[in-house]
Amino acid sequence: MSKQNTFTPPWRKTAPKEGSWRSIFKWGDPLGFKSPGDRLYAELKEAFNLTDDDFQERKHEGDGPVECPDTKALSRDQVKAFAAIVGEDNMSTDAYQKVKYSTGKTLEEAMRLRAGKVDRVCDLVVHPRSREDVEKVVALCNDEKIPIYVYGGGSSVNFGLRPSKGGVTLVLNTHMNKIVEVNETNQTVRVEAGMMGPAFEEALNSARKNLKTEYNYTCGHFPQSFEYSSVGGWIVTLGSGQNSSLYGDAYDLCLGVEVVTPRGTINTLEYPGTATGPKVLDMMKGMEGTFGVVTAVTWKLHRHRPENRQYFGFLFKNFADAIEAAREVTQDEGGMPSVFRVFDENETDFAMKMYSISGSAADSFLSLRGYKAENRCLFLGSSDGEKGFAKHVKKRVKKICKKHGAMYISGYAQKLWEPDRFKHPYIREDLQDFGILSDTLESSLSWDQLHEAHKAVNGFMASRPNTMYMSHSSHFYPQGTNLYYIYFIKTDDIEEYRAFQDGVIDAVSKSGGSLSHHHGVGKMIGPWMEDHLGSEQMEALRALKRHFDPNNIMNPGGQLGIDITTRQWRDIE
Amino acid sequence: MSKQNTFTPPWRKTAPKEGSWRSIFKWGDPLGFKSPGDRLYAELKEAFNLTDDDFQERKHEGDGPVECPDTKALSRDQVKAFAAIVGEDNMSTDAYQKVKYSTGKTLEEAMRLRAGKVDRVCDLVVHPRSREDVEKVVALCNDEKIPIYVYGGGSSVNFGLRPSKGGVTLVLNTHMNKIVEVNETNQTVRVEAGMMGPAFEEALNSARKNLKTEYNYTCGHFPQSFEYSSVGGWIVTLGSGQNSSLYGDAYDLCLGVEVVTPRGTINTLEYPGTATGPKVLDMMKGMEGTFGVVTAVTWKLHRHRPENRQYFGFLFKNFADAIEAAREVTQDEGGMPSVFRVFDENETDFAMKMYSISGSAADSFLSLRGYKAENRCLFLGSSDGEKGFAKHVKKRVKKICKKHGAMYISGYAQKLWEPDRFKHPYIREDLQDFGILSDTLESSLSWDQLHEAHKAVNGFMASRPNTMYMSHSSHFYPQGTNLYYIYFIKTDDIEEYRAFQDGVIDAVSKSGGSLSHHHGVGKMIGPWMEDHLGSEQMEALRALKRHFDPNNIMNPGGQLGIDITTRQWRDIE
């Protein structure tokens, strides 16, 4: 570690200017920040051979006003027709809106906007007020063959909302963001698709007081993007939250959808289990806007009882032992933990450094006990549910972890993690202000594929000099888990970044894991889909696509790899 | 109750003759019997105004040899082509095989066979040996436009395997009935689709000894038809087993399929949770043979630990209280019971009479405590899983049931039920030998639909004089449950039976519940599907049908309502 620790880089602590590029690419709250601490700063300098001199001045902050060429792809009559549906107040051809609602949260988009360059933008932004508005817009677009893209919360990290073919972007969170009804008997809530995570969760947490229900509820779904993603987005991208091991993925939590397709509006049935053929609801889960617009969702509720939560944490001698314990926990049928995270050797060392454990007296003690740096692994989590259940789960986890050689380190680390859990993305802007890129990719894996995949993807990342990388498993099923790969590189060059990012995707693809555990596919990973699923399965998706959207107006231009067979989606007109 | 109880009807205790009609329609083991006891006999006489004189002689036993007209729909060249694929030994145009493998277990089929009449039969029975055989047969049939029907275990109760358009019936359980591989790391098993329940379960239960695994396993899926149904059948019909509340339905237990469609063979991916678009696996679940032939299945295993099982039983003052308790148990997040059954007032009274509790001293005691006949309801079940979990679930269930006014009646009744649980269907032949029909229909329901649906369907059944009926809920989800309707009527007339059966389906359809919880749709319920799902959803199924099976050779003629829009499926040529 660096010995210099008196200098702190000028991490930015001011909100982006209104109307600026930065106001679009910056994550989250304009006044939300999570700057690297001294220890991470020292790590970064060492990893990238940098000195304090390299951190004197922020670069490419994107403070200039957003500009964008006038696209004029829509005729005046077409624009008038949209105005007749939603009203002039609910649409815009303004450059700022067009860029904002055409941009997700990929690093590549941020790099471009920092340079004052725009990627593809839509021709018109529309803020529908209701399902009826959406139906009329979809019908108009279908008649006129105008592409439609949907902006939910805007947190896509794979160009999911990139308007590759121009057209109209529908912003669902402006108006269509309310709870329709809580059905306490069925323990479900009907919600408009544009409702954002925090408003949704707050309404459910305070249901007793505000909705006069018997219990308070939780949506049970807390992806990293929770604060800046919408309920509809969770379902169409197959999201997975930090509590998925107990509550399930968005796939499991969704009981029904209302979806407007060019072929008509569908309200799926909501029986809890029914033997009446393949389920149209399932066809909509993960369709990423390519079949239609999800306008409302029926979501399964869980009781909100944070007072029942039990925290735990363990240190294992190595990753293999930690994974074996995790596998036993999920396969033992003693009840699943709620949050549940196993860090690999690299991420454990990283965490130990961040919390100043590395090199300390505690470290010597741990090493003596056999929990040595570069091998040891953290295993953190918590259990939820009815109190006795939550306690039983913790007790069981403890017993299994000890059997696999773990040291119990109390629930302290997990309690530290919890309140900060949505803050991590804020660090991205600080790093990028100094040319350091941090990105993530992830993969779902059967247990028996895990270690080989981990080795293969690490091997690729290690092949690039001066690359920091680490990973963890954070979603558990009796049949497997995920690996969440994190890397840090230093470059200002988009092409260099792209080549590395594509290389990681390639490595994931060849590793035997799935192409995505919960980020979805978007246009970024679309080109790998044909190889991954095989042409027979891709053709089944295309058959549904042709059925629901015969004119290919719904999110065309590479999404899910459904309408491309080349990796050159970026060049599609 | 009748006072005469010295007479016992001559319930048949001999196996059907080889080659006879009865050998086809009789349920299960040729030497398996479960005749009505004295108490049920007395009940039946009372319900249908019968005397011992009506039970002197069995009628229409179907002991004659099976006959069936020669169909000759296939050309000699076509038959030769099939022989070239599977070999002469693995195909048959013999009348007995044709009738046997064209017949499921509906009452209507039994009534017809008892009268020596055949329904539609296939033109050729084929016993494929492998996926390759199936691929060649499907390709040949697709080229020659010959319909294909699949016979798994033959227990369909909705004409699922009726060859409405003739052609070829593939029997999967003859050769394709083996475990391919147990993957203990992933806790999965790969199995050929024709493997029958008992062989599958026995192999898993004895895995430590015979497969050298660390643990013994259970398939966790025990439908009423368990002994006479196949793994592939469970999935394509969306079956649900008696332990579904803990282990899930077939839908949940299936991780992957290999399916041969006219468009090609698909092996679905088997990641435990993945965000790579809508899942082709889901499109295959419930497709009832209309898209292709499932040839192999990857199934999720559970540990086999019967020693951990905890039994419980309660008596509630009324059905509403019992259902409220059941709802709280499933929504409380304290862990789900495994088997879990709530009997309505009628089925409770029926059970009380069967066990001689009605009218006894115990009955007086129960009545005094407020558990009165015609209102009281039984709630029986058991918990499974890791021992501490199973115990916690029982403790929790007890607490919740007491809160809802229940009396604990120990696990005795549930323990009585367990060993006999696959025997109930045997009683059907005994009753039908004397012109009494017993049939069942079932429906999935949200909690808030349950009581109205129950009332509506009961209302219809009550409208027919001399009809005994009862129902129970036996599959539980946080969002709802099922109702399993059972009725007994006395008639020899197929048309009268059909009219009543159609009336019950109509009543279920109008009750707000789903058309089927776990029996599937088949051709019997197919005509109700368009109304039930709505044309937008039916058209989505048809889009997949056109994709996978453009020539409509896979189970054509009414299955799932996919290729009909009329209720006259029986007359389809």
Q: DSSP assignment of A5-36, as one string?
A: -S-------SPPPTTBHHHHHS-S-TT-----
What is the CATH code of the structural domain delimited by B76-174? 3.30.43.10
Beta strands in B141-214 (DSSP E): 148-151, 168-171, 179-183, 188-192
Tokens of A471: 């990973």
Q: How confident is the model at residue B104 (pLDDT cuts 50, 70, 90)?
A: very high
Q: What does residue A367 show for φ and ψ, rounded to 5 degrees? A: -60, -45
What's residue B2's pLDDT? Answer: 44
Q: β-strands B168-171, B124-126: how paired?
A: parallel
Residue A437's identity, in one-letter code, is: L
pLDDT tens sequence across B66-97: 999 887 899 999 999 999 999 999 999 999 99
C-alpha torsion sign, points A183, A186, A189, A193: negative
d(C-alpha A310, C-alpha A335), whole Å: 13
- Residue A446: list chain B partners with CB under 8 A: 185-186, 270-272
Q: Chain B residue with minimal CA distance to A534?
A: B266
Tell me the domain boundaries of chain A.
76-174, 179-303, 306-421, 525-573
Contact B185 A447 (CB under 8 A): yes
Residue B391 to residue A99: CA distance in whole angstroms: 58
Rg of chain B's alpha carbons, rounded to an integer? Answer: 24
Residue A570: Cβ-neighbour burial (10 angstroms; 0-12, 13-18, 19+): middle
Cα dihedral B39, B41, B42, B43, rounded to 10, equals: 90
Quote the pLDDT of residue B521: 97
pLDDT (0 to 100) of residue A355: 82
Using an 8 Å CB-CB cutoff, list chain A residues near B272.
444-446, 477-481
CA distance B561 to chain A (A): 10
How big is the A-B interface in CB pairs under 8 Å? Answer: 295
Query: Above 0.85 for ipTM, yes or no?
Result: yes
Contact A444 B271 (CB under 8 A): yes
Mean pLDDT for chain B overall: 95
Q: What is the CATH number of domain B179-303?
A: 3.30.465.10
CATH topology of domain A306-421: Alpha-Beta Plaits (3.30.70)
Report whether pLDDT(B263) > 60: yes
pLDDT for residue A70: 84
Q: Which amino acid is at A129?
A: R
Residues of B in contact with A251 (CB under 8 A): 273
CA distances (Å), origin A270, targets A133, A195, B144, B174: 24, 20, 40, 38
Q: Give B519 to chain A, closest Cα distance, Å.
A: 7
Closest CA to B48 of B491, B407, B450: B491
Please check whether residue A472 is in contact with residue A427, taking contact to mean a CB–CB distance below 8 angstroms.
Answer: no
Distance CA B148, CA B291 (A): 11
Predicted confidence at residue A5, as pLDDT, reads: 60
Across the interface, of B268, B279, B514, the residue whose CB is closest to A274 is B514
Exposed, middle or buried by CB within 10 Å (0-12, 13-18, 19+), for A303?
middle
- In this prediction, residue B5 carries a pLDDT of 60
pLDDT tens digits for range B511-555? 999 999 999 999 999 999 999 999 999 999 999 999 999 999 999
Return d(Cα B150, Cα B162) in angstroms, integer. 9
CB contact under 8 A, A288 and B282: no
- Give the type of residue at B41: Y
Q: Do A533 and B280 touch (CB under 8 A)?
A: yes
CB atoms A275 and B255 under 8 Å = no
Of B283, B448, B475, nearest to A185 by CB-CB distance is B448
CB contact under 8 A, B544 and A544: yes
Q: Which residues in chain A are contacts of B267 at CB distance < 8 A?
A: 534
Q: Which residue is closest to A327 within chain B, CA to CA?
A: B185
> Between B288, B300, B537, which is nearest A478 by CB?
B300
pLDDT in tens, B281-314: 999 999 999 999 999 999 999 999 999 999 999 9
Structure letter (DSSP) for residue B230: B
Give the whole-angstrom CA distance, residue A279 versus residue A264. Answer: 17
The nearest CA of chain B is from the CA of A540 a distance in Å of: 7
Q: Identify the residue among A240, A276, A518 best suited for mutation to test binding to B, counting B beta carbons within 10 A and taking the highest.
A: A276
CA-closest candidate to residue B193, choices B107, B94, B296, B54: B296
Tokens of B389: 């979990």
**Nearest residue on chain A to B542, alpha-carbon basis:** A547
**Spatial distance between the Cα atoms of A164 and A560, rounded to a whole number of angstroms:** 13
Q: Which of A219, A249, A252, A274 to mutate to test the interface with B (most CBs of B within 10 A)?
A: A274
Residue B564's pLDDT is 85
CB B128 within 8 A of CB B141: no
Nearest to A521 among B244, B276, B513 (CB): B276
pLDDT of residue A573: 39
> What does the block give as tokens for B377?
């309801």
Q: Residue B481: which of B522, B449, B521, B529 has the closest Cα?
A: B449
pLDDT < 50: residue spans in chain A: 1-2, 572-573
What's the gap in Å between the CA of B502 and the closest CA on chain A?
17
- Nearest chain B residue to A389, by CA: B334
